[in-house]
Each structure stands twice: as C-alpha cells, then as structure tokens.
Amino acid sequence: MQSKSQKFDEQTIKAILKRCWSRESSSLWTKQNPACGQCGVTALVIQDQFGGGILKTPTEGGWHFYNQIDGERYDLTIEQFTVLPNYMDLPSNREEAFANTNQNQYSYLSSKFRQMLR
C-alpha cells in the first residue's frame, strides 16, 4: 500500500491538506477550523499514499483518527482541537476510520490530494 516514490514530509503534507480540505471532504469544515471533521478521511488518504497504520483516541466528540508511519504518530488534523487529546494510540483500521466519513468525501479528498501532491 505504501507509495515508495513519495517521501513523507509532515510540513509539506499539512500544507497540501489545508489546501484540499473543504466542505466536500467534511460537512464540519469551516474557514475558521478547516481541520474539523477531517480526521477519518485524512487518515485514510494518508495511509493510501504513505502506508503505515491508523490509530485512534477517544475524545469528547467521539473517536479521533490519525496515522502512524515508520513508528511515529502523525496527527495531521490536530489543529481542530482547542484542548489537545490525551493520546492513547489505540490500533484502528480502515473500516473504523471510514465510519467517520463517506465515499463522496473520501473520493474527493483522495483525488484532490493526489493532484496537489504531484
């Protein structure tokens, strides 16, 4: 699943995601909080492109999903929180993360992200 031709650079990836996120990728998106509601769909798209695992942590709003790549935690939607989660790094999977999104949101973000990554 990992794309060997792409190197994971967190700052570059975050900048690309910020340009990709919209109401098309999460109904909770706002200009003031573009990362809101993007955790599941983002974790899926990042795993598609860079491999690794999906982790989860419980929050007041439900499960929060993020990635683990080469043993490191990458929470690319952390900016949605005013109070940072107490990370439990529980193993998760694509099925659980997909329950946090839908096919249209996933297809949109996946396509937009791949376009901008080039």
8 A C-beta contact, residue 99 and residue 54:
no
Reported as a pLDDT band with limits 50, 70 and 90, residue 1 is very low
Instruction: Give the pLDDT confidence score for residue 118 in this predicted structure.
Output: 87
For all residues of the chain together, what is the average pLDDT?
94
Indicate the DSSP class of residue 114: H
Cα distance between residue 1 and residue 54, in whole Å: 13
Instruction: Give the pLDDT confidence score for residue 6 in this predicted structure.
Output: 66
Q: Which helix (H) or strand (E) holds 59?
A: strand 53-59
Question: Taking the model in full, what pTM does it have?
Answer: 0.93
Q: State both tokens at 100.
A: 């946090």
**pLDDT tens-digit map of 45-83:** 999 999 999 999 999 989 999 999 999 999 999 999 999
**Residues of the chain above pLDDT 90, percent:** 92
Domain ranges of the chain: 10-117
**Letter for the amino acid at 99?**
A
Reported as a pLDDT band with limits 50, 70 and 90, residue 7 is confident
